Amino acid sequence: MRSERGVRRWRWQWALLLPAALVFVTQAPIAADKARRWLPLNQDGIHDPKSPALRVLQEPGEALSRLPADAAGVGNQVNWVKALEQGRIDPRANIRAQTAIRTLDTDILLNLRGGTPIVRFPHRQHTLWLDCSNCHEHLFKSKAGANKLSMQRILQGEQCGVCHGAVSFPLTQCGRCHNTPRKRPLPVAAVPGS
């Protein structure tokens, strides 16, 4: 008979493997942008199909089909970082003109003691879109080792899950965050206690 701890570990392993297996099965390559499809606003289950305001909104298919496709073809099917780097979009940097814009080109290594690949968190891709205050100090503390990340919390829409799974690439794309093999020696700047 398995111990309670062994059963919990087994369940957690399946919880990690199942999304990866589903991603593998559903990741058929997209041959062309024509293969990407978005529901019209009046059929998406979010907008009121009887609302006269729908006339003034741009349809997702019209707007998003012009942007570079996400290789995985999941989520909103757009590679937002590539769209930004290509100059296809120009997000508003701030609302108030006096607000200083800060970008940070530093990667942080997380999940150093886990069994899955290490998470290399790229600040640059995030600070091109967001001010530091969007995440710090309420979602994440700025101090190294002060954050206890939890996949359970992330999957519940907390921590990284505030954006990933909502407006950014979905959480079923495990390898996009867990992107650094453990076989490499860790750099000196690796975050302790993660």
**Residue 7's pLDDT is what?**
38
Average pLDDT estimate for 131-142: 91
Average pLDDT estimate for 51-60: 92
**Residue 32's pLDDT is what?**
43
3-state class (DSSP) for residue 152: helix
3-state class (DSSP) for residue 78: strand
| Of 30, 161, 33, 38, residue with least CA distance to 88 | 33
Q: Distances in Å between the alpha carbon of 90 and those of 56, 79, 86, 124, 179?
A: 21, 14, 10, 16, 27
CA triple 108-27-17, angle to 5 deg: 60
Q: Does residue 167 surpass a pLDDT of 90?
A: no
Q: Residue 17 has which token pair?
A: 């493997």
Give the model's confidence band at 51: pLDDT under 50 very low, under 70 low, under 90 confident, else very high: very high
Contact assessment for residue 111 and residue 194, using Cβ atoms and an 8 Å cutoff: yes
Contact assessment for residue 168 and residue 126, using Cβ atoms and an 8 Å cutoff: no
136 bridge partner residues: 140
Give the model's confidence band at 71: pLDDT under 50 very low, under 70 low, under 90 confident, else very high: confident
Q: Does residue 8 surpass a pLDDT of 80?
A: no
What mean pLDDT value characterizes the chain?
A: 77
Q: Does residue 75 surpass a pLDDT of 70?
A: yes
**Residue 149's pLDDT is what?**
92
Q: Considering the chain, what percentage of its residues have pLDDT values greater than 90?
A: 34
**Residue 90's pLDDT is what?**
83
